[in-house]
Amino acid sequence: MWIFFLALPGSILGLNLFLAWAVWKFFAPDKKMQIAAAGTALAALGIFALSFAGFLLRAYENPLFAFAWEFLAWALVPMVYLAFWAAAGTLAFKFFPAIRRFKYAFAGTGTALIAAVCIYGFWKFENPEVRYWVWNPEAGDVYEVSAEEARKAEPRLRIVASADWHLGTRIGRERAERFVRLINAQSPDLIVIAGDLIDGRIEPVEAENLDEVLKKIDAPLGIFANFGNHEYFGDIEKQKAFFRRAGIRLFVDDAVLLNDGMGMKIVFVGRDDASNRSRIPLADLLESLPKEAMEDAYLFVFDHQPKGAGEAVKAGADFVFSGHTHNGQLWPATWLVGLFNPYVYGHWKEAGTHGYVTSGLGLWHIPYRIGSRSELIVIDIF
């Protein structure tokens, strides 16, 4: 995360300066248009710088910084894509000078295309996809099924799993209520939320009483959740209190056995986030559990960051559910996220362990999904 926040300002600076230079060259020799276009790009850079200053100073309530932070959310992606398009045009015009006479058509096409991509990306954020999976622990099988097949199924246990809600300023009461309606429509027995339920600051979550929204989730066996890295950005004790008020069972290196009426035993283990370097090693956690509970039980681990997958495989986990990556959320980050995570998105299998990394139900601040999609996962256990 800190690598991201160190690299992002430098990237924005470079891209904005290039965009200012590109539009200056584009509108030559019209000085008025040059000044207007390049000035707009430099003004955007100033607002971006202000947003990062507000973040570092934690001046979230200051109206000026709040405006800059919101401007960053909506304008950053179009600006980056415009810079990429300008770079493509610069190279094309250099090597094929004859096409320069079409520069206005090129610029207009790029602007329209980028606008369409961002609108579609916003729609993909606002309309999460529901994906349906079957897990047969006895056979060791995991496979995806259609919504129609899932509707007709009669599983032993239906888990509705998600991660990365990021409740806060971007995901407020209205969106949270839509998430809850979507979850309840799946008729879950149990809810698993694998970290980053809260974006970090608890104040906007409490201001909208989002615990009341979460209490509307209808799951007979309850809601299991653990911490992600974003919970550690805020007041951890206040966040624990919020979980309690919302009726969520918080797992911080904790486990529970479920076996009532299923004909099988499943031990659910919720790990503390990997950002807490003092978290208990999974092998030690399992060793501390009663032997009779673990005997003939299948092991379902939910761990926010997929970097713990290898540890879960060594411990003999049967299923591992994670989030954190957002599947990159935005191109070209979708190409880079694999550099930091062993698994980025979707179903994976290693040795006898199956796992799933979700792209997340919500997102972080920037309200676009480009190259990814918000999703909710239903896991039917047979």
Cis ω for the linkage preceding 155 (within 30 of 0): no
- Please return the burial class of 168, using the count of CB atoms within 10 Å of its CB with bins 0-12, 13-18 and 19+: buried
Q: What is the pLDDT at residue 56?
A: 82
| pLDDT computed for residue 2 by the predictor | 57
Between the alpha carbon of residue 294 and those of residues 256, 305, 314, the distances in Å are 10, 24, 16
Name the residue type at position 1. Answer: M
Distance of CA 217 to the CA centre of its chain: 21
pLDDT in the model for residue 1: 52
The owner of tokens 């006898």 is 352
Residue-level pLDDT at 263: 84
pLDDT in the model for residue 362 = 96
CA dist 191 and 377 (Å) reads 10
Q: Give the pLDDT confidence score for residue 287 in this predicted structure.
A: 93
| CA separation for the pair 214, 192 (Å, rounded) | 13
The pLDDT value given to residue 4: 59
Nearest Cα residue to 328 out of 371, 365, 361, 368: 371
Rounded to the nearest 10 degrees, the angle between the axes of helix 63-95 and helix 31-57 is: 130
* Per-block mean pLDDT, blocks of 10 residues, the chain (382 long): 66 88 90 91 89 83 90 94 96 93 95 98 98 96 97 95 96 97 98 96 95 97 97 94 98 92 90 94 93 91 97 97 97 92 97 97 96 98 95
pTM (predicted TM-score): 0.93
Predicted pLDDT of residue 61: 82
Strands 141-145 and 129-136: antiparallel
Structural domain spans, the chain: 2-123, 129-381
pLDDT for the residue numbered 272: 97
235-241 contact pairs (CB < 8 A, 24+): 235/202, 238/202, 238/206, 239/198, 239/202
Domain range 129-381, CATH architecture: 4-Layer Sandwich (3.60)
- Strand-pairing partners, residue 131, are 377
pLDDT at 345: 97
The most distant pair of C-alpha atoms in the chain lies apart, rounded to whole Å, by 81
| Of 9, 13, 18, 29, nearest in space to 86 by CA | 18
Show the CA angle centred on residue 106, arms to residues 105 and 112, nearest 5°: 85
Instruction: Locate all alpha helices (DSSP H) within 27-62, ordered by sequence.
Output: 31-57
H or E element: which one contains 265?
strand 265-270
For the chain, the first-to-last Cα distance in angstroms comes to: 38
